[in-house]
Amino acid sequence: MADIIMITGGQRSGKSQLAEEMALSLSPKPVYIATARVWDDEFRRRVELHKLRRGPEWTTHEAPLDVASVSLGKDDTVLFDCVTLWATNWFFECGEDSAKALAAMKEQLDRLCAKCRHIIFVTNEIGLGGVAENAMQRLFTDLQGYINQHIAAMASEVYMSVSGIPLKLK
């Protein structure tokens, strides 16, 4: 099983940049698993900013759902960005059934983590702002919280990025 690092935090907290730096410190040729589905022009610009930061040493695989099928070597260092977008994809793929989505995600993660040496997960803390006003948002926030707990339990290190400052939690 891979050595797992988890980096969590809010939107634009510096999570991805921290993860990229960590991945490059572990490998000269890291692998990037991109889970986003681009749904509008503004989000497309966000994705492009991420791509511009990464140089030619990165190998990128787009995997909005089936991350376990990404071809990896046992010595690879993987940056998985991001769990929240991946959870969104699974949540809607499973008809907003968070229990079904969580089971599918755990199975995918177990298979993925068995394939490589290091994996860094980037995720969001979306439940810090209070209880959502509608049931769908609450179900998704719960799903996000449960998958974050699952990854954190497997991780040897967990960081929270706040305003660009990494805080080591585990």
Mind telling me the catalytic residues?
A: 50
CB 8 within 8 A of CB 161: yes
DSSP character string of 85-123: HHHHHHHHHTTT-HHHHHHHHHHHHHHHHTS-SEEEEE-
Spatial neighbors of 26 by CB under 8 A, at least 6 apart, are: 77, 118
Integer Cα distance of 50 and 81 in angstroms: 10
Look at the alpha carbons of 152, 157, 160, 161 in this order and tell me if their dihedral is positive or negative.
Answer: negative
∠ CA 36-97-103, rounded to 5°: 75
